[in-house]
Each structure stands twice: as structure tokens, then as C-alpha cells.
Structure 1
């Protein structure tokens, strides 16, 4: 059973989630947290596997999310929000958020997000991916991942893990020049550049779909 702590101060949202998840197989809402101190105490007392939280429309902040990650490492965080600003999402990704769905997503999306979060697998809903990348070539129909070689896909994963060109070269027994060439080819094939590791994490999650 996946034990969930719900942290959303919007009454309709929290009541709606409780109703939606009441009959979901393998999921149990064990409590609600109304503030950062309340959340931390609830984690100690109730030991939830997942915290579902909206850091933009509750009495929380991105710094609170960071604090939870740093202090409550055994609990996973699933962001459930209507906020679809790319800069906000990137800020959360950069502090470790790997699970993000918007409130307009389907029932199945929310359930799948909870299952993925429990396994610590990356999960970003389609609406979020669309907000971040628009109509850029990220769908399987456009065969972007098929254009990438096995080595290029491997390098994307290593970059998204935060590794430098030198570290990648050492791990794959390549020259730094070869790694740089692969990176240039990747950018040319997928049609856009990555400004930071967070963008690469998102692209990597799409390759793994």
C-alpha cells in the first residue's frame, strides 16, 4: 500500500483528491499537512511514502520543498499544481523534483504519477511537457529518439546526471573532443539546445517513456 500525505490548503482540491483516490488500488491517504512544520511532524508520525504538495497555491514555497528533500530523504514528493510557468518548474527540477503533474490532468495521469513517484521514477505529465517544449520535436511520432545513436542517448543521460565533459570522457573511455562532438551532433539532431541540466532531465524522461 502506498501511503500518501496530502498537503494542499485549497479545500476543493484536497476533498476532490481524497474522493478520487479513495478507490484507487494500492493507494491510501493517511493524513493532511497544513504547513511545513506540520508536514515534517506528520512524516515522523505517519511515515508516508509520498507527499503530494502544491508549493504555489498553499502556505509553502520552493525553499520549503528544498528543506523537505534535505531533511526527509525517505519520503518522495509529487508536485500537483495548476502553475505552468517554465521558470518555476525549472527551479523545482534543479532542487531535485522528479514528479510533476498539473491539476487539469486526467484521473489516470494522477494515479500513474503516484505509482511512478513511489518507485522514484521520473514522471512529468503531458501538459507540463507541452508547456515546457511547445511543439518542438519531443514526441515519438517525430522519431527524435530514433535519430540518436546509442552512444548519444547514453551521453544525454550522463549530462542530465550532472557529469562534465571530462567525467563523461573518463567514464566512456573517450576523448573530451569526441564527447564535445557528440554533444554538437545531439543538438543538431534534436533541433534545440539545453540551457541547463533540468532541460536534459526532461528530455531524458521523454526518451524513457
Structure 2
């Protein structure tokens, strides 16, 4: 039996993932589902039992992008596909840069998801994209224009933004930094206002420049 890790917090998506992967693995897969990302717990499972494939969602409820799950799979040589509702080219490229073998948009058909996973399993040269992800990358002019401006952040703002990127909630960040939740949210609002964009757009710009520099 192939042991497969699924990190996904939507029940309908979990059903889709299991249906597709059962086809790929000829119903010879054992699925372990996590609706939240607990790095220490999942890494302990990997060390004790191992996984042979992983399907990852980057945006879990109440959290911003979390590339830590991809990095964990890369660390333990587990091929992984990102299955996400987010289609900006910058997010797709960042996922690949962090170690994902492929990217499938949730707007894709089950057949598209199966095609990408099968290609990864068959060791076809990666990264492998669904059609929608390929279109997003080929039409990235607008994304690139938005990324050209380096975000302006204070030291504390950058610290908080990095913790959001790591997948921490405002409550967890307040405990980590020893400040109030109100303080975390105020810094978040100021970052968005000062840079004239949403938190997700700010994260994309920050990650672009952090990777570029």
C-alpha cells in the first residue's frame, strides 16, 4: 500500500483527491488526512512511517500561504503536488521554487489532476502543471508588474509578515512575539495601507523580492 499524505481542509476537495489518487494508485493507497499543518506532528509521522506521495493545499482556514509543508516534503524526498484554489503566477512559481513537483488549480477537472499526478509518479521531468496553471504563468505580465515594487516594511512588520507566511495565525503570532492580537492586526492593517495592497498581494511581493535578493 502506498502511504499518501493529504493536507486539505475542505471535505469536498478531500473526496476529489482520494478519488483521483485511488485511480492513479489502482486503489492501493492508504490516506492520512490533516486539515491543519502541524510541522512537528507530520514530520514525526514521516520519520516513523514515511509517505510516498503528498497532496498539499497552501491556504488552510484562517491562515495565509504556508510553504512549510512543501519544504517538509522536499526535505524527506516526498514527491508532492499543490492542489489550490489560488492561480496567480507568483504563487505557482513560489510553490515550485519551494520544492513542489507540480501544481493543480482546483478549477481543473479530475482528469487534469490525475494527469499531473501520474506524470509526477512516472518521473516525467518536473514541474508539471495543469492547463490553468500553465495559462496563469504564460499570462503573468500583470503579476510581474505588481511585483516590481519592493514592499516597504519596518523591522517589526517584516517579522510579522514572515510569521504569516509560515502559516501562523494572529493569535499565534501575538504569543510568539509577546504582543497583543490587536497589535498584530494593527501592524497588518498598516502594512496593507502603506503598500496599497491586500495581505496576499503583499506576501507575493515580499516573497518575490526575498527570493530575488
Flag the structure with more relative contact order, 1 or 2, with Cα contacts below 8 A and sequence separation at least 6.
Answer: 2
Question: Could you tell me how far 1:49 is from its partner in structure 2?
Answer: 1.1
How far, CA to CA, are the matches of 2:118 and 2:23 in structure 1? 14
Q: Which has the larger radius of gyration?
A: 1
From 15, 20, 41, the equivalent of 2:44 is 41
Question: Could you tell me how far 1:81 is from its partner in structure 2?
Answer: 0.7
After superposition, residues 146-157 of structure 1 pair within 5 angstroms as none
Q: What root-mean-square deviation, in Å, do the aligned CA atoms of Structure 1 and Structure 2 show?
A: 3.0
* Structure-2 change in CA distance of 1:25 and 1:69 (3 Å): closer
How far, CA to CA, are the matches of 1:23 and 1:96 in structure 2? 25
The residue that corresponds to 1:26 in the other structure is 26
Instruction: Tell me the SS of whatever aligns to 2:51.
Output: coil
Q: Check the 8 A contact 2:73/2:79 in 1, yes or no.
A: no
From 100, 106, 110, the equivalent of 1:107 is 110
How far, CA to CA, are the matches of 1:64 and 1:20 in structure 2? 21
- Which runs of 5 or more structure 1 residues have no equivalent in the other structure? 137-209
Question: Could you tell me how far 1:51 is from its partner in structure 2?
Answer: 0.8
* Structure-2 change in CA distance of 1:47 and 1:105 (3 Å): same
Question: Could you tell me how far 1:79 is from its partner in structure 2?
Answer: 0.6
Q: Check the 8 A contact 1:54/1:81 in 2, yes or no.
A: yes
> How many aligned residue pairs are there?
136
How far, CA to CA, are the matches of 1:23 and 1:65 in structure 2? 23
Question: Could you tell me how far 1:68 is from its partner in structure 2?
Answer: 3.3
Alignment of 1:128 with 2:133, yes or no, is yes
Deviations 1:100-125 (A, max 9, x none): 11112122222222222223432111
How far, CA to CA, are the matches of 1:110 and 1:14 in structure 2? 13
- Which runs of 5 or more structure 2 residues have no equivalent in the other structure? 142-213
TM value normalised by structure 1: 0.54
Alignment of 1:62 with 2:37, yes or no, is no
The residue that corresponds to 1:189 in the other structure is none
